[in-house]
Amino acid sequence: MSKISSILKPEELTWLNLDNEIVIVDASAGSKARYDEQHLAGAIFVDVNEDLANIGDFAIGGRHPLPTFDQFSKVLQKLGITKESHVIIYDDKNGSNAAARFWWMLKSVGHEKVQVIDGGFQAAVKAGFPVTNKVEIPKSVDEYEVQNWSLPLSDINEVEKVAKNDDHIVIDVRDANRYAGLTEPIDTIAGHIPGAINIPFTENLDADGRFLEPDILNEKYTAALEKVDLNNVIVHCGSGITACHTLLAMDYAGLPIPKLYVGSWSEWSRNGKEMVLANG
């Protein structure tokens, strides 16, 4: 069986929804009210804070640390997802809210049939997929056993050790002003990790909010990372959510999925680590 594409074009949704194994998930972060008002027909809501993270002390793992395996197992069961499910995820921010994070988590526990809708909620509606405010009831399923994260992860200690090394690259996917320390809307300090380069996740998208074609993304990241082994690439953002957008883009481009530093700037900036601030 050929590998399923990580990105699903919204025009393909209609016939896919006829399959009984399809589970559509709305991962619009902080948008439960919008979900209650209107969502794609059949979609189940997943909450980035309650379902896709195990939030505690921001200095230990950042604002959105990964949940425990037991927690994630229960979330998948709650959503009606089995190992045979074809999971289709969307959000209302072109995959950057939590769709890409949920995609990464599923891929990392070995779930192959998982895709993110290109362009998200808006693109699906434009393509004619029906919407509703109906309360969706997930299928009753057995527990989904989760044992480990199989995709590569990094942590604050490794990032500190390698960020300035020529044989490693740390990518900060936040917007340029946050990277430069000119603004910080969420965390307590504005700036970036010394040695990290800035490739905003928004550069994965075209003017319509759709992912660039795989060959374009491949060329873009191959050129940016040509000086290092792709196993030595670490990607981060503010709290390990939008970083997954770039991991998704690289997978879509046919490239290996780099390491994810989940704690990201929210953890780094709270631990007295060296930082590059706007004043130098």
| Residue 2's pLDDT band (cuts 50, 70, 90) | low
Region 71-77 average pLDDT: 98
Region 115-127 average pLDDT: 95
pLDDT of 7 > 80? The answer is yes
Strands 169-172 and 233-236: parallel
Region 95-101 average pLDDT: 88
pLDDT computed for residue 222 by the predictor: 96
Region 113-138 average pLDDT: 94
pLDDT computed for residue 18 by the predictor: 61
Q: Which amino acid is at 105?
A: M
Fold entry, domain 153-268: Oxidized Rhodanese; domain 1 (3.40.250)
| Residue 55's pLDDT band (cuts 50, 70, 90) | very high
pLDDT computed for residue 29 by the predictor: 73
pLDDT computed for residue 224 by the predictor: 95
Is it true that domain 7-132 has CATH number 3.40.50.10470?
no
Average pLDDT, the chain: 94
pLDDT computed for residue 152 by the predictor: 98
pLDDT computed for residue 14 by the predictor: 75
| Residue 19's pLDDT band (cuts 50, 70, 90) | low
pLDDT computed for residue 95 by the predictor: 73
pLDDT computed for residue 166 by the predictor: 94
Instruction: Write down the domain spans for the chain.
Output: 7-132, 153-268
pLDDT computed for residue 229 by the predictor: 92
7-132 and 153-268 share one fold = yes
pLDDT digit string, tens, across residues 179-232: 999 999 999 999 999 999 999 999 999 999 999 999 999 999 999 999 899 899
| Residue 1's pLDDT band (cuts 50, 70, 90) | very low
Calculate helix-pair angle for 214-224, 243-252, nearest 10 degrees.
Answer: 110
Q: What residues act catalytically?
A: 237
- Could you tell me which of 170, 174, 172, 173 has the C-alpha nearest to residue 228? 170
Region 98-125 average pLDDT: 96
Assign 3-class secondary structure to the chain: CCCCCCEECHHHHHHHCCCCCEEEEECCCCCHHHHHHCEECCCEECCCCCCCCCCCCCCCCCCCCCCCHHHHHHHHHHCCCCCCCEEEEECCCCCCCCHHHHHHHHHHCCCCCEEEECCHHHHHHHCCCCEECCCCCCCCCCCCCCCCCCCCEECHHHHHHHCCCCCCEEEECCCHHHHCCCCCCCCCCCCECCCCEECCHHHHECCCCCECCHHHHHHHHHHHCCCCCHHHEEEECCCCCCHHHHHHHHHHCCCCCCEEECCHHHHHCCCCCCCECCCC
pLDDT computed for residue 97 by the predictor: 83
Region 166-189 average pLDDT: 96
pLDDT computed for residue 275 by the predictor: 96
